Structure formats: C-alpha cells, structure tokens
Amino acid sequence: MRKVLIAAAIILLNSACKFNGDKKKLPIYGNRQTVTKTANGQTVTDTVYQTIPAFKFTNQYGDSISNKTLDGYIYVADFFFTTCPSICPVMHRNMLDVYNTFKNTPNFKIISHTIDPQHDSVPLLKKYADKLGVTGNTWWFVQGKKEDTYKLSESYLVRPPQEDAKQGFIHDGSFLLIDKQKRVRGAYDGTDPKQVSKLIDDIKILLADPEQAAKK
Amino acid sequence: MKLSIIIGLLLSGIVLIVSCQSDDQLEYARYYSTGRVLYQSKCQNCHGKNGEGLQSLIPPLTDSVYLKRNKELLACSVKYGLKGKLNIAQKYFDGQMPASDITGVELAEVLTYINNSFGNKLGVVTTQMVNEGLNKCN
C-alpha cells in the first residue's frame, strides 16, 4: 500500500512539473474583427487585432523613431513628463527595474513618451536619461507633436492626458506591453512595484513565445 | 482571584512604563507617527519609501550630515520648494523641488519623521524650531 502511494505521488509530482513547463500565452487586448476571406476556393476566417498605428517621434539622441524603427522589437510604452511632481518618479523608479533586467536583451525596447514636448526638448530628455542612469539604445525618451502623442495614447488603450491647472497634466501611469505584431499584450500600473514585477515576468513569457521568436 | 492579581500587576506595569516616558518622548512619538503619514502622502512619490531618492534626479534623504547642517533651512525647503545645485550623499543634484502645502505643526511632524528615519537619528524637530527656521527663509 505504501509503495503504491509513493508511486502515485511521484506520478503526480511529475505531471505537475510538466504542467508548469508548458509555456503560458499572454492575452491579446483591444478591439478585434473577424474577417472572412476566400482563398483557393476555401473560406477562411481570420481574426484581425487592434494594432498601434504609424507614428514618428524623436528620441533623446535626436534620432527619428517611427513605428518602423520598432519592427522586430517587443517593447514597453509609457507616458510621462520630466517635471511631473506626482506619479512619474514612482513610474520611472519602477521602470528602472524593467530596464536593468532587459538592458542587454536584443529585440527589446522601452519607449517613454513625453506629454509636455514644449518643455521636454531633446536635450532635456537626454539630460533626464543621463540623470536616471540610462545609457545606450534600450530605453528611448521620445517627443513629438503634442496632438500626435495624445492621439497615439488612445491606441495604447490609455486614458488620454488632460491638462490641469494645478498639476500641469493629469495622465495615466500605465505601462503597456506591445508585441512584434504591434498588439497590446498587457497593461500594468506603473506605480505599483508588484504589477511591474508581473510585467517583467510577462516580458520573459512573451520573449519566449515561439510566435514572437519567429516574427522578424 | 489569581487572575485579578495578574491583571492588576500587568496594569500597574503599563502605568509605570507610560509614566516613565517623558513629555518629550511622547511628543516625539506623536510627531513621528503623524509625520510618517504626511511623508507617505506628500514626499514618498519622489523621495521613495526608504528615502532613497531616484538616481541623480531626486536626492535621497539619507544624508544625516546634510540634514544636520541644514537643520534650520529644512522647513523653508519643504514649504517653499528648493532650486539649484545641491551636494547630497556625495552626488550633485540640479533639479527643482516644488513648494508644498505642508504648514505649521505638520512641518515639524514630517521633519521629525525624516530626521529619524532612513538611518537618521537627529531627534525631534519642534514647532518652535520650525518657526525660527521659517523666519530665516530666503
């Protein structure tokens, strides 16, 4: 009887390990449409997911950054401004954890959009990056036309920024995880260290996803 | 019977301990705990849970030497904000701290908390000290 129990336990443990070994898949967020096409005489139904539209900004080095620059990259996006007195320091204290974990990972980037481009010029963004201890090309701080940034924030499923007399701007503290197909795969509260460590775990899952590894 | 003796002894023990705390200690404890709540709501976003600051952007509050040397100016800095070059914890900072709506006794409370947390042990900051400091603000 005892031997049977031990054997059962071993089998159970083994299968539990196998279950854990299965690669988890991240959900895909946003609107989706099903498109029915006829190809080679067969009717095929395909799901079309919401994606991040084309954009063009300038990073802290003065380089032009567009949606094309990010082809082949998994990236995390957020919205901030350098003189933000409220949530931004917390967000970027937490984002530093993401940066430090993945700064040597190819195919990965962080894009922080300033929502105050009038103040946050390219040299100022460079100064901010330097002070934050960010070097190289893993984490870009980008600026462009204010309307473009505000409009783009909507496609990241973020509450668009609002101008406020007291705080300057009220904005959403989310970190968004975007895959190589430019689909939103996760949204995290950038002010909460627990959610940011979930983001770090999810980036690892997404990097290991065969569908992502195959996509150039 | 036995139980009531034990309870009686315990109670008298508590009374002894409480009465042994001087008024200063009580004032310190009260300032410190209210100061912590103020710190969490008004300072922590930038200066961090452990007063660690943020890289070279936001100075840490762990430099006891700086805090001690600038004891009188701290109330001014918290109330009216701070701008310009600072040398804190062997690092240079050149940012801007916004003014706050912390006033009166709250300044004493939050400064008592900061001066006695994050490795600092600089004692109570009283409202009298705060008021004297505020008279010397630039």
Condensed to tens digits (0 to 9), the pLDDT of residues A37-69 reads 887 888 888 888 999 999 999 999 999 999 999
Beta-carbon separation of B45 and A128 below 8 A: no
Alpha carbons A200 and A133: distance in angstroms, whole number: 19
Q: What 3-state DSSP class applies to A155?
A: helix
Q: Which two tokens stand for residue A158?
A: 């973020």
CA distances for A215 relative to A50, A55, A106, A179, angstroms: 17, 21, 14, 10
Separation in Å, CA of A163 to nearest CA in chain B = 18
Averaged pLDDT of chain A: 87
pLDDT at A182: 96
- For residues B101 and B43, give the distance between their C-alpha atoms in angstroms, rounded to a whole number: 12
ipTM of predicted complex = 0.76
Instruction: Supply the pLDDT for residue A23.
Output: 61
Q: How far is A189 from chain B (nearest CA, A)?
A: 14
pLDDT at position B54 is 95
Residue B108 is predicted with a pLDDT of 96
User: Residue A20 contacts by C-beta under 8 Å, 6 or more apart in sequence?
Assistant: none
B-chain residues within 8 Å CB-CB of A131?
55-57, 95
Smallest CA–CA distance from A93 into chain B, residue? B54
Report pTM: 0.81
Q: Is-contact B114 B67, C-beta < 8 A?
A: yes
Q: What are phi and psi of B120, to 5 degrees?
A: -85, 140
- Whether A168 shows a pLDDT value over 80: the answer reads no
Number of H helices, E strands in chain A: 6, 11
Mean pLDDT per block of 10 residues along chain B (138 residues) reads 72 63 84 97 94 96 96 94 93 92 94 97 94 91
Are the beta carbons of B63 and B123 closer than 8 angstroms?
no
Res B116: pLDDT: 97
| Interchain CB contact of A123 with B (< 8 Å) | no
Mean pLDDT lowest among A8-17, A107-116, A150-159, B110-119: A8-17
Q: CB neighbours (10 Å) of residue B69?
A: 10
Q: Do B57 and A131 touch (CB under 8 A)?
A: yes
A170–chain B Cβ distance below 8 A for any pair: no
Could you tell me if A157 lies within 8 Å of chain B, comparing CB atoms? Answer: no
Provide the number of CB pairs (under 8 Å) joining chain A to chain B.
Answer: 28
Confidence at residue A18, expressed as pLDDT on a 0 to 100 scale: 47
Enclosing H/E stretch for A82 = none
Banded pLDDT at A167 (limits 50, 70, 90): low
Question: Any idea what the Cα angle at residue B62 is, between residues B59 and B63, rounded to 5°?
Answer: 85
Instruction: Tell me the C-alpha distance between B34 and B113, whole Å.
Output: 8
Average pLDDT on A6-19 reads 54
Q: For testing the chain A interface, which of B45, B50, B86 should be mutated: the one with the most A CBs within 10 Å? A: B45
| pLDDT tens profile A81-136 | 998 877 889 999 999 999 999 999 999 999 999 999 999 999 999 999 999 999 99
Judging contacts by C-beta atoms under 8 Å, the chain B residues touching residue A93 are: 48, 54
Which pLDDT belongs to residue B36? 97
pLDDT reading at A12 higher than 60: no
DSSP type of residue A176: E
- Is the confidence at residue A19, as pLDDT, over 70? no
Structure tokens at A43: 């009717």
Confidence of residue A161 (pLDDT cuts 50, 70, 90): confident
Smallest CA–CA distance, residue B95 to chain A, in Å, is 9
Alpha helices of B21-104 — where are they, by DSSP H? 23-42, 44-47, 64-69, 74-80
The pLDDT assigned to A200 comes to 98
Q: For residues A184 and A32, what is the distance between their CA atoms, to the nearest angstrom?
A: 12
Residue A9, pLDDT score: 57
Interface test with A, best of B41, B49, B52, B54 (most A CBs within 10 A): B54
Q: Of B57, B5, B121, B11, whose CA–CA distance to A82 is shortest? A: B57
Q: What is the pLDDT of residues B24-37, one digit of tens each?
A: 888 899 999 999 99
Tokens of B71: 């004891």
CB contact under 8 A, B45 and A132: no
